[in-house]
A and B are shown apart, each in its own frame.
Chain A
Amino acid sequence: MSFTTPYFTLPKFVYFKPKNIEEALGMLKQHKGRAKVMAGGIMLVNLMKERQIFPEYVIDLKNIDELKKINVTENGIEIGSMVTAIELQNSKLIKEKCPALAKAASFMGDRTLQHTVTIGGNISVGMPSTDGLPALMSMDSVLEVRSSEGKRFLPSSELVLGIGRTSLKEDEIITKIIVPNDEKVMGTYLKFINASEVAIATVAVTVHHEKKKLALSVGAIAPRPYYFDNSSLQWNWEGSVAENIKRASDVVYKAVQPMSDAVASAEYRKEMSKILTARALKEVFGGA
């Protein structure tokens, strides 16, 4: 994300608006390498305006209703990739079962953008500061990825490879996000920004009390979010919460190797990862 070029207009492209997934996948196959799918379009249009990408074909997914649904199935909670940030925040189910995601969605750009931003588009951007991915990772979610050849399941932690790079092939799209349907889920998402809209550090936490399972993801500090679970955090379910939080923050602090950029230095990001980890865990366990 650079936003440094002076343009108002877009390079020329051909626009498609398919009615179902199959049609979309067919177009992607036909124009492989020269087409891009458009979800909310917030990032796509900007990348085009910035002259960073020049797709000859833009395949808009907005007419595909089956991508806009949130369903509960035997696989778990299935969130369509075209569900918007506002819908995630307003859904009772998501708030109850995926609290980290509901909260992360409230940070995806401003309120106006959130009506347009989709969860699929958000995570496919592959930017370090993307809000959706740490939340999805803390929930141990799996992505359903489809192409005209078929479908595969990809752990959300394996989506992003580097800055702006994902493991999706040119003819693949994310169709769903599948989250385990657990009872008594707690979680939160904290985003630390200062003097820039781009996050310095983010932390997502999801805790399943009954399953004695805790996962935490630290985003924005490196090209890919970091993932920790109760065992790597040395979480002791019998021990004092304060001790646990302290130990977990130390583990995170020691494990992360942040990047330095125009937003923040590595040193500061490291320290903030610790503070944010403690704050997030405190919020979850204290109910604050």
Chain B
Amino acid sequence: MTYKNVGKEVPQADSWLKVTGTLKYAFDINFPGTLYAKLVTSKLPHAKIKSIDISEALKVKGVINVATGKDFPYRLGLYLSDRDVLAVDKVRWIGHPVAAVIADSLEAAEEAAEKVKVEYEPLEPVLTVERALEKDAPLIHEKLGEYRVFPGFHPVPGTNIANVFELKHGDVENALKEEDTIIIEETYRLPQISHVTMETQNVLAWWRFDDYVEVWTSIQSPFATRYLMADALKLPVNRIIIHAPPAGGGFGLKAGLGWEPLVALLSKFAGRKPVKLVLSRAEQMTSAPARDGFIAKVKAGFKRDGRFVAYKAEFYLDAGAYADYTINVARTAGYSADGAYDIPNVHVTSYAVYTNKIPTTAMRGFGHPENHWALELTLDRAASVLGIDPVEIRRKNLLKPGESVRATGERVREDEGDPQKVLSVLAQAIDLNHVERASEPWKIRAKGIALLVKAPSQPPNAGASAVVKLNEDGTIDVLTGNGSMGQGTPTSLAILAAEAFGVPLEKIKINQLEMVSTDTNPYTWQTVGSRGLFSDGIALLRAIEDAKNQIKETASRVFKVPVDDVEISEGYAYSKTHPWIRKEIREFAMGYTYPDGTTVGSPVIGRGSYAPILNTFLDANGHGSNTVFHTYGGTGVELEIDLLTGEVKVLRAVQVYDVGKAIDPLLVKGQMDGGFIMGLGSALFEQLKFGEDGKVLNPNLITYYVPHFEDMTASMESYIIETPQKDGPLGARGVGEHVMVAVAPAIANAIFRATGVKINELPITAEKLWKAIKEQKPELIDKALKSFFEEGIKEVEQI
């Protein structure tokens, strides 16, 4: 199939505005007379609120009002309504918003926030998963049993377990017991990390006098936000109007429901004036959610020939004070724990556990950075014990499209992608067994790989819809619900539209320049899970079909030929049998008008929608069919370890993804590069550090370190494989999140392969690696020091 627009490297539609600094984010939207909100947050990790004294705060000039939890008795949540708007009765982490000041200037709001006095009665804080699970641990959510729970989830009231999920397939215990089974047993950990969106969360809300609530906010999923807000505030859905300008980064932080209900309520509380809340970086990193911390206890069984026969795992997600979204991360980590492999016996139990720390939510990868960290490291540990090449052990165990069955019982579709090809391309590009000498004798060169597979984790009815409108001059307006946060999906959707309509890309405008408003744009469930291009794309192609049918209908009357003789291409409608009979499609845009004014047809507006077919919730054994597509991929790295310091420098990164069809290869590569950099940050640097009281110690970008330009030492290569997804838009499947998942496991595997040093916990900072080498292979450091002080310095004298 040859395409006119699809497959060309097209920059993102909003790039020009971005590079000129003129794109308007939610942050930039202001009304005259807008009031400012400032949060007052808890200084204790776990405590009863005895009293809140706002009298001094109210005296500050410019202060309109101060709200506390009692003013807003609503419960919030996507999968579990465990959140309050402001703390009611007790606080659950250091940073928990207790009150909010509304003032006519930010200065007044901040001054007054310091004057709100809260009296607490301290409770024992629960700061680790281990403590949270003990029988006598204090309860963080006493009323867990009363919260609204989404179908398919299982909180355990009377404990700190927000959700438990079990996946059972085959007979693990037996398989592990078999005499010739070789066991790999490990505990892996991941720290809480921050999303670090460039634009912090910010909301402008106006509870109008007509009781419509208008909200401008930096989010990914306007429709989910609207529904959840309506549900929480007990308002009709269409009373809430969410405007979502392009977001300065999302990464899962801005999915679901954020600060919108609070700010809307503050607007009402302040006499229905617009109110704006902008989080500072410190607030973002202490009062807003992060990604869960993770513990995996793994027991894996392999046969001598490398067959992966049993996988038993317990996952514990440290969900922090609220597990609202994280319970689905835990469930997802559980049901997809078998990754890209055909393992006949699997038993995974995955818990989301409350602690008195910063709450957690969705983040890019959604359970897969977690479960692949455990799985992909285990494979390399097994390969080493068995003396098998990391590529071979994977080749042997990969799922076979059309044949294999996942541990959930879901059949692996024939058109799911080509995992063997992904592995081969990766293996060839990285060439694991050819490792060059390091640049210095005290350094070690290393290569490693990791694979992954991921599907969107969504409810069975996660739908999408789209509208296309043909304008008088033949230009086309496309409307979808797809949130724009830098991922580029709106651009890909525009390319799809141009292709399907057979018009140049310039004729397409998408989503009012990427601003999505729930009042004007059609519904899509959420912009998450790498589902946007797939779900919204299918809906869009259906809408275009509908619009084209309307044009054909009118054209057939005008051309006096049967409808099925009319075809549309290159901006024309024409008769297939009499191709000289043709007219530009713009002539049909508002219906066709004859010279005497007689008009046939009417304005062209196409609609299309999509919902997954035959998806279900998972049953008590974790069985069911809950995915729409899977994307396979892998990362290979070549790196150098400085044995003197423990520093890791990645020299080369190879990313291979089977995306079905690259609608815009430039955007696919952009995701791969961006995903690698984000993966590199989480592998080597990123970690929220907690004090003994659970306080975040590094809520800033000085001591919470993300990759800088000088850390971009790797040349990045990306390989796109295109095994079409039959029901995907022109064969495409999603790839947005995937590209960061395998980076950290590939790095850890490279280090292990070259040194034999096991690092089971991220981040692999220089000090951590240096200490691990010192403990596990001290001779490597001794040798390095020797060569550095002998050979390394000898060079000096020769110069």
Taking Cβ atoms with an 8 Å cutoff, the residues of A that contact B are 1, 3-9, 51, 192, 194-198, 200, 240-242, 245-246, 249, 262-265, 268, 271-272, 275, 278, 282, 285-288
Interface centre among A9, A195, A285 (most CB of B within 10 A): A195
Name B108's closest neighbour in chain A (CB-CB): A9
Cα–Cα, bound, A200→B38 (Å): 35
- Some 13 contacts from A to B, beta carbons below 8 A apart, are A4-B699, A7-B110, A8-B106, A8-B278, A8-B280, A194-B765, A195-B686, A195-B705, A241-B793, A242-B790, A262-B703, A275-B788, A288-B799
Cβ of B700 within 8 Å of any chain A Cβ, yes or no, is yes
Cα–Cα, bound, A196→B698 (Å): 10
Cβ of B118 within 8 Å of any chain A Cβ, yes or no, is no
A287 touches B799 (CB 8 A): yes
B770 touches A263 (CB 8 A): no
B767 touches A282 (CB 8 A): no
B789 touches A246 (CB 8 A): yes
Cβ of B283 within 8 Å of any chain A Cβ, yes or no, is yes
Cβ of B754 within 8 Å of any chain A Cβ, yes or no, is no
Contact flag A3-B703 (CB < 8 Å), given A9-B106, A246-B789: yes
**B789 contact set on A, CB distance < 8 A:** 242, 245-246, 249, 278
Cβ of B697 within 8 Å of any chain A Cβ, yes or no, is yes
A6 touches B39 (CB 8 A): yes
**A198 contact set on B, CB distance < 8 A:** 702-703
Instruction: Give residues 689-703 of B contacting A (CB, 8 Å).
Output: 689, 696-703
Least Cβ–Cβ distance between B260 and chain A, in angstroms: 20
- From A7, A196, A285, contact of B702 by CB (8 A): A196
Cβ of B134 within 8 Å of any chain A Cβ, yes or no, is no
A6 touches B703 (CB 8 A): no
Contact flag A286-B795 (CB < 8 Å), given A6-B282, A262-B689, A275-B645: yes
**B114 contact set on A, CB distance < 8 A:** 51
* Extra contacts besides A6-B279, A200-B766, A263-B703 (15): CB < 8 Å: A3-B702, A4-B286, A7-B110, A194-B765, A195-B684, A197-B705, A198-B702, A241-B797, A242-B789, A242-B796, A245-B789, A271-B770, A278-B793, A286-B795, A288-B796
- From B647, B697, B771, B793, contact of A245 by CB (8 A): B793
Name A243's closest neighbour in chain B (CB-CB): B793
Instruction: Give residues 731-756 of B contacting A (CB, 8 Å).
Output: none
Least Cβ–Cβ distance between A237 and chain B, in angstroms: 14
A194 touches B110 (CB 8 A): no
Cα–Cα, bound, A194→B796 (Å): 27
Cα–Cα, bound, A51→B110 (Å): 11
Cα–Cα, bound, A200→B767 (Å): 10
**B705 contact set on A, CB distance < 8 A:** 195-197
- From A7, A196, A246, A272, contact of B793 by CB (8 A): A246
Closest 9 CB pairs of A and B: A3-B700, A286-B796, A194-B766, A242-B793, A195-B685, A195-B765, A197-B702, A6-B283, A268-B767
Cβ of B365 within 8 Å of any chain A Cβ, yes or no, is no
B110 touches A195 (CB 8 A): no
Contact flag A4-B700 (CB < 8 Å), given A195-B765, A241-B797, A278-B793: yes
Least Cβ–Cβ distance between A56 and chain B, in angstroms: 16
A197 touches B703 (CB 8 A): yes
Name B791's closest neighbour in chain A (CB-CB): A242
Least Cβ–Cβ distance between A109 and chain B, in angstroms: 10
**A6 contact set on B, CB distance < 8 A:** 38-39, 41, 279-280, 282-283, 286-287
A282 touches B770 (CB 8 A): no
Cβ of B24 within 8 Å of any chain A Cβ, yes or no, is no
Cα–Cα, bound, A245→B794 (Å): 10
Least Cβ–Cβ distance between A165 and chain B, in angstroms: 21
Contact size class for B?
A: 35 or more
Least Cβ–Cβ distance between B769 and chain A, in angstroms: 10
Cβ of B107 within 8 Å of any chain A Cβ, yes or no, is yes
Least Cβ–Cβ distance between B295 and chain A, in angstroms: 21
Name A192's closest neighbour in chain B (CB-CB): B645
Instruction: Give residues 86-130 of B contacting A (CB, 8 Å).
Output: 106-107, 110-111, 114
Cβ of B488 within 8 Å of any chain A Cβ, yes or no, is no
Cα–Cα, bound, A200→B770 (Å): 14
Contact flag A1-B645 (CB < 8 Å), given A8-B280, A241-B796, A285-B796: no
Least Cβ–Cβ distance between B188 and chain A, in angstroms: 19
Name B796's closest neighbour in chain A (CB-CB): A286
Cα–Cα, bound, A4→B701 (Å): 10
Cα–Cα, bound, A265→B771 (Å): 11
**A271 contact set on B, CB distance < 8 A:** 770
**A5 contact set on B, CB distance < 8 A:** 282
A265 touches B767 (CB 8 A): yes
**B696 contact set on A, CB distance < 8 A:** 4
Least Cβ–Cβ distance between A202 and chain B, in angstroms: 14
A242 touches B797 (CB 8 A): yes
Cβ of B184 within 8 Å of any chain A Cβ, yes or no, is no
A282 touches B792 (CB 8 A): yes
Cα–Cα, bound, A264→B788 (Å): 23
Name A285's closest neighbour in chain B (CB-CB): B796
Cβ of B522 within 8 Å of any chain A Cβ, yes or no, is no
Cα–Cα, bound, A278→B106 (Å): 51
**A200 contact set on B, CB distance < 8 A:** 766-767
**A265 contact set on B, CB distance < 8 A:** 767
Cα–Cα, bound, A285→B286 (Å): 48
B110 touches A9 (CB 8 A): yes
Cα–Cα, bound, A242→B110 (Å): 59
Cβ of B644 within 8 Å of any chain A Cβ, yes or no, is yes
Cα–Cα, bound, A17→B788 (Å): 53
Cβ of B138 within 8 Å of any chain A Cβ, yes or no, is no
Name A110's closest neighbour in chain B (CB-CB): B708
Cα–Cα, bound, A271→B763 (Å): 21
**A278 contact set on B, CB distance < 8 A:** 788-789, 792-793
Cα–Cα, bound, A138→B590 (Å): 80
Cα–Cα, bound, A51→B792 (Å): 48
Least Cβ–Cβ distance between A111 and chain B, in angstroms: 10
Least Cβ–Cβ distance between B108 and chain A, in angstroms: 9
Instruction: Give residues 759-799 of B contacting A (CB, 8 Å).
Output: 763, 765-767, 770-771, 788-790, 792-797, 799
B796 touches A245 (CB 8 A): yes
Least Cβ–Cβ distance between B618 and chain A, in angstroms: 38
**B684 contact set on A, CB distance < 8 A:** 195
Name A201's closest neighbour in chain B (CB-CB): B645
Cα–Cα, bound, A9→B684 (Å): 34
Name A10's closest neighbour in chain B (CB-CB): B107
Cα–Cα, bound, A271→B773 (Å): 14
**A197 contact set on B, CB distance < 8 A:** 701-703, 705
**A275 contact set on B, CB distance < 8 A:** 644-645, 788
Cα–Cα, bound, A264→B699 (Å): 17
**B645 contact set on A, CB distance < 8 A:** 192, 194, 272, 275
Cα–Cα, bound, A194→B278 (Å): 30
Contact flag A286-B799 (CB < 8 Å), given A6-B39, A194-B766: yes
Name A194's closest neighbour in chain B (CB-CB): B766
Cα–Cα, bound, A288→B794 (Å): 13
Contact flag A3-B282 (CB < 8 Å), given A195-B705, A242-B793, A262-B697: yes
**A287 contact set on B, CB distance < 8 A:** 799
Cα–Cα, bound, A47→B282 (Å): 15
Cα–Cα, bound, A156→B443 (Å): 37
**B279 contact set on A, CB distance < 8 A:** 6
A195 touches B700 (CB 8 A): no
A282 touches B796 (CB 8 A): yes
Cα–Cα, bound, A263→B768 (Å): 12
Name B710's closest neighbour in chain A (CB-CB): A193
Least Cβ–Cβ distance between A77 and chain B, in angstroms: 28
Least Cβ–Cβ distance between B557 and chain A, in angstroms: 63
Cα–Cα, bound, A196→B794 (Å): 33
Cα–Cα, bound, A192→B789 (Å): 19
Instruction: Give residues 241-290 of B contacting A (CB, 8 Å).
Output: 278-280, 282-283, 286-287
Cα–Cα, bound, A40→B346 (Å): 61
- From B280, B647, B697, B797, contact of A194 by CB (8 A): B647
**B107 contact set on A, CB distance < 8 A:** 9
Least Cβ–Cβ distance between B71 and chain A, in angstroms: 21
